[in-house]
Chain A
Amino acid sequence: MRDENVIINEWSEIVARSEQDSKNAFKRKVANGEWDERKEIESIPDEVLQFFYKESWKIEKAKMLQECGNSYE
Chain B
Amino acid sequence: MKKIFLPKLKSNLTKDEQMFIGSWTDNRYFVIQSIIAKSFQNLSETEKQYSDKANTLLNMFSKYKSHLPKDKPVFRGLKFHKNRSDEVLRYRYIVEEIKVAYKFQENYIHSYTPFSTSKKLGVAMDFANRQLEDFYSVVLFFNKRISDELDLTQFSSADEFEVLIQGGLKYKITEYANILNKVYVTLEEIK
Residues of A within 8 A of B (CB): 5-20, 22-24, 26-27, 29-31, 35, 37, 40-41, 43-45, 47-48, 51-52, 64, 69, 71-73
Q: For B107, give its contact among A7, A15, A43, A47 (CB under 8 Å).
A: A7
- Residues of the B chain whose Cβ atoms lie less than 8 Å from the Cβ of A43: 131
Q: For A26, give its contact among B110, B127, B179 (CB under 8 Å).
A: B127
Provide the main secondary structure of the chain B interface: mixed
14 residue pairs A–B, Cβ–Cβ below 8 Å: A6-B170, A7-B97, A15-B78, A15-B94, A19-B30, A23-B127, A29-B126, A44-B121, A48-B180, A48-B182, A52-B121, A52-B141, A64-B120, A64-B121
- The docked-state distance in angstroms from the alpha carbon of A33 to that of B142 is 29
Number of A-B pairs whose CB atoms are under 8 Å?
A: 133
Q: For A14, give its contact among B90, B141, B158, B175 (CB under 8 Å).
A: B90
Q: For B37, give its contact among A11, A18, A26 (CB under 8 Å).
A: A11
- Given the interface contacts A20-B27, A22-B79, A23-B116, does A72 sit within 8 Å of B72 by beta carbon? yes
Minimal beta-carbon separation of A61 from chain B (angstroms):
9
B157 touches A27 (CB 8 A): yes
The answer to the question of B108 belonging to the interface, with a C-beta cut-off of 8 Å to chain A, is: yes
The answer to the question of B21 belonging to the interface, with a C-beta cut-off of 8 Å to chain A, is: no
The answer to the question of B189 belonging to the interface, with a C-beta cut-off of 8 Å to chain A, is: no
- Residues of the A chain whose Cβ atoms lie less than 8 Å from the Cβ of B116: 19, 23
- The docked-state distance in angstroms from the alpha carbon of A56 to that of B120 is 17
How many chain B residues touch A (CB < 8 A): the figure is 61
From A38, which residue of chain B is reached at the shortest CB distance?
A: B122
Residues of B within 8 A of A (CB): 27, 29-30, 33-34, 36-37, 67-68, 72-73, 77-81, 86-87, 90, 94, 97, 100-101, 106-113, 115-116, 119-123, 125-127, 129, 131, 139, 141, 143, 151, 153, 157-161, 170, 175, 177, 179-180, 182, 184, 186
B159 touches A73 (CB 8 A): no
A9 touches B111 (CB 8 A): yes
- Residues of the A chain whose Cβ atoms lie less than 8 Å from the Cβ of B139: 48
Minimal beta-carbon separation of A27 from chain B (angstroms):
4
